[in-house]
A = this chain, B = another copy of it.
Amino acid sequence: MKQSRALRRDAGAILKAALRAADPTKAVEAALLGRRDLDGYEHIFVVGAGKATGTMARAAERILGKRIAAGSINVKDGDMAKLRRIELHPSSHPVPDERGVAGAKRMAEICAGAGGRDLVICLLSGGASALAPFPAAPVTLAEKQETTRQLLHCGANIHEMNAVRKHLSAIKGGRLAKLAAPARVLSLILSDVVGDNLDVIGSGPTAPDSSTYETAMAVLDKYGLRQKVPAAVRRALEAAEDETPKPGDPVFDRVENVIIGSNQNSLEAAAREAKARGYRTLILSSTIEGETRDIARMHAAIARQIRKHSEPVRSPACVISGGETTVTIGGNGKGGRNQEFALAAAIDIAGLEDVMILSAGTDGSDGPTDAAGAIADGATVSRSCRDPAGALRNNDAYPFFEELKDLLITGPTGTNVMDVHLILVA
């Protein structure tokens, strides 16, 4: 394991590059500093919602200063971003509350007041949907939540949920962009969803919606919910007034949606750093989902292949992937999906020399723990006095890696572009 220390140092630097690419401050700076059009507007307004939006708003204030005429953002409870011109509305996450509604109304008001020579900058990041609820009257927040609960209970998928929710919202499904017209809209988006679909992130307040009232009703009927949802919800969907703006709607001629941070961006930054450090790099995918331990095993199988057959890439190799896997909980241990990933990988690469697998959540907090993830190599299993298979069965990766000092501790990063997985072979 002579290369172990070098591999760890490189892995740390590569992960750091991935996190830097998702840094909300740097991402907003990069998006705004290069733009020539910002001086041409009569007023600039800033709205937005999401867990990273406080930081994003600060960066916007630093760059735009007094050019910001007004603004309002919804952030998660406890976010104390010091803002001078943009109002801060802390609200509840993941279960929305009336404070969120109040903030969302203020946003809508600002957008509605913007004119043809104005710019509305919309800041979006993970959590936006829950942090900025705005049920379209007369539906109440409680009624909208009850509908969501029923859909979840029936096993509706995310597309079905969104078709219904967008048609019950005053700002989602492109309606915020419609409110802002005729102003220009620039959305700066930190994506925390697999595939970076604009109409999914924060339920797409400034993105075209391809679902219709008909789609929403079909979803209710599919699950036999038409008579079960609150009456106000049923009536609103049946009335089908004021359809959400569709792809091709002229509203979007003046809207620019820019993804300023995403898993893909971070993987590309990781690849650049790995290349600079002399690795042959390969990005497998930024949309990986599935049961954590099985996805980890496939990563281990690729590591073995590199070691034994110099495929899919010759060493020194760095194979990079990302997305968001899922742990089916079977035990009562302490851990998170990234630590579980590293543990499952450790078992399958046990004994291999100069091979390392790392998994980390870009938000710095993996499951209910203070670690972002963990590092595994060919000596992980032999260095531990614990039973790795037992720890995996019990979803108990945290103490396993804590003892080996192989937890990755970054602290909260203030961003979230899902998870990053690295395979390094020296």
**Chain A residues engaging chain B, CB cutoff 8 angstroms:** 195, 264, 282-291, 293-295, 297-298, 301-302, 304-305, 309, 311-312, 319, 323
Q: Are A298 and B301 in contact (CB under 8 A)?
A: no
Q: Are A287 and B301 in contact (CB under 8 A)?
A: yes
* Residue from B195, B291, B294, B304 in contact with A287 in the complex, judged by beta carbons closer than 8 Å: B304
Q: Are A287 and B312 in contact (CB under 8 A)?
A: no
Q: Are B283 and A301 in contact (CB under 8 A)?
A: no
Q: Are A301 and B288 in contact (CB under 8 A)?
A: yes
Q: Are A289 and B311 in contact (CB under 8 A)?
A: no
A298 contacts across to B, CB distance below 8 A: 285, 288, 290, 295, 298
Nearest residue (CB) in B for A287 is B301
Q: Are B312 and A286 in contact (CB under 8 A)?
A: no
Instruction: Count the copies.
Output: 2
Closest chain B CB from A355 CB (angstroms)? 13
Q: Are A297 and B289 in contact (CB under 8 A)?
A: yes
Nearest residue (CB) in B for A306 is B285
Nearest residue (CB) in B for A282 is B312
Given the known interface contacts A264-B309, A293-B290, the answer about A301 and B323 at a Cβ–Cβ threshold of 8 Å is: yes
Q: What would 22 A/B residue contacts be, using CB atoms closer than 8 Å?
A: A264-B309, A282-B312, A283-B311, A283-B312, A284-B301, A284-B305, A285-B301, A285-B302, A285-B305, A286-B305, A286-B309, A287-B304, A287-B305, A288-B301, A289-B297, A289-B301, A290-B297, A291-B291, A294-B295, A295-B295, A295-B298, A298-B298
A312 contacts across to B, CB distance below 8 A: 282-285, 312, 319
A282 contacts across to B, CB distance below 8 A: 311-312
A188 to B307, CA, bound (A): 25
A311 to B313, CA, bound (A): 13
Closest chain B CB from A309 CB (angstroms)? 7
A290 to B299, CA, bound (A): 11
Closest chain B CB from A420 CB (angstroms)? 14
Which 5 pairs from chain A and chain B are nearest by CB? Answer: A290-B294, A294-B294, A285-B305, A285-B301, A290-B297
A309 to B321, CA, bound (A): 13
* Residue from B291, B301, B323 in contact with A294 in the complex, judged by beta carbons closer than 8 Å: B291
A309 contacts across to B, CB distance below 8 A: 264, 283, 286
Closest chain B CB from A167 CB (angstroms)? 22
Closest chain B CB from A198 CB (angstroms)? 14
Closest chain B CB from A201 CB (angstroms)? 16
A195 contacts across to B, CB distance below 8 A: 304
A284 to B297, CA, bound (A): 13
A305 contacts across to B, CB distance below 8 A: 283-287
